[in-house]
Structure 1
């Protein structure tokens, strides 16, 4: 699965109540943009299905927001990519805007274009300190999210095991959160050799054009 990001995304940690086919269940927002959000869901959802979203804290806003499931990543819980069905104008008047930084002020900058392709994948990834092995959840030419059995902090060395290349990179840890027995990390690459960068870009591009490797 490939995600072409055209809007700035902001990290978030907000509890939701989702409703689908008359059934309510909980979820937590991971990040949000003007076009959609990524959530941890307590329930397995099908790609293409629709649901209504409410803030758990109804005092901050009660109107439901409509969304459609665009991708699902299975794990100890379900990581789900949602696309809003309501217009940006309607969303700006509802609780969605309040989830943006600076008390919603970042909503106006959230439409800026960002040319990036992220591929949901499962390539092995190894932390150089202790050679701890895990798997990438998604990958781009500038960063990744992945699970490891131990928590990483600050700047780390990583090895990315692509089908046709073994890449060594340095990365800044942006976030690490506990998920079952593992830690889910989000990192931004800081140091990478030019040939490794070219190999990584080729892999992501291969995924973007329907490549069959490790989806």
Structure 2
């Protein structure tokens, strides 16, 4: 009986093809990245009927906090709710993120248009103050698209302010479904959340940790 000897393993043809393919892809990616060396403050829009618009915006705020980048949140609709994001930021990260809940709930809850308009206007004044502050590097305008959709705010005023007064390196994130076309046109990054399934349609109410 011949002795058993260890032989070095050699990659299969499939492994070799995969490695070559990935090497080629990496080289192409490296060439593309070498041309991207600019930085600027971005106008970012999260819109669409699907869930995740505010959640994504708050994810960016948490990244800023992790990088010790001063930031701010202005909520235009959900001010009447004590959300998990608000509790977390106000309790643990108020030194890095200012939080202003300016809304009083959805329009069908207040049932008072003039009151909703006044709340939106107060929110916009606070938003401008935060954006103008040179120390703040990201401002999240949560659900501002709803205020714009119902014309509680003038879209032309918002677009003009972002185009002319936003500091060069300040990021501004605007969330809410039905983003106005004028806003989409001036944005640097636009993401539309698509609705595929939602538990609400199956009779499941909004739940802590998922919706708020």
Shared fold, TM over 0.5: no
Q: Which has the higher strand share?
A: 1
Instruction: Determine which structure has greater relative contact order: mean sequence separation of CA pairs < 8 Å that are 6+ residues apart, divided by chain length.
Output: 2
Instruction: Indicate the structure (1 or 2) with the bigger Cα radius of gyration.
Output: 2
Tell me the TM-score normalized by structure 2. Answer: 0.25
Q: Which has the higher helix share?
A: 2
